[in-house]
Amino acid sequence: MWKMRAWFARLIVALLGVSPIMGIQAHAYEKTMACMLVVEPESGRVLVKEGEGCATRVSPASTFKIPLAVMGFESGILENAHQPVWPYRQEYPSWRPSWKQSVDPAYWQDQSVVWFSQELTRRLGENNFQKYTDQINYGNRDLSGDPGKNNGMQRAWISSSLEISPEEQVAFMRKLVNGQLPVSAQAAEKAMQILPVNALDNGWIVHGKTGSGMERNVKGEINRERQFGWYVGWAEKDGEKVVFARLNRNAERQKGGMGVPTRNEAWSELQKLLN
Burial class of 200 by CB neighbour count within 10 A (0 to 12, 13 to 18, 19+)? middle
| Residues paired with 203 in a beta bridge | none
Catalytic, out of 59, 62, 117, 212: 62
Known catalytic residue at 62? yes
Residue type, 49: K
**With the CA atoms of 93, 97, 100 and 102 taken in that order, what torsion angle do they form, in degrees rounded to the nearest 10?**
-120
Residue 83, number of CB atoms within 10 A of its CB:
9
- How long, in residues, is the chain? 275
b/e map 229-258, b = 16+ CB within 10 Å: bbbbbbbbbeeebbbbbbbbbbbeeeeebb
CA atoms of 128 and 126, how far apart (whole Å): 6
Residue 18, number of CB atoms within 10 A of its CB:
17
Sheet holding 222-237, edge to edge: 46-50, 32-39, 240-252, 222-237, 205-216, 197-199
Both ends of the chain: CA-CA distance in Å? 10
Active site amino acids: 62
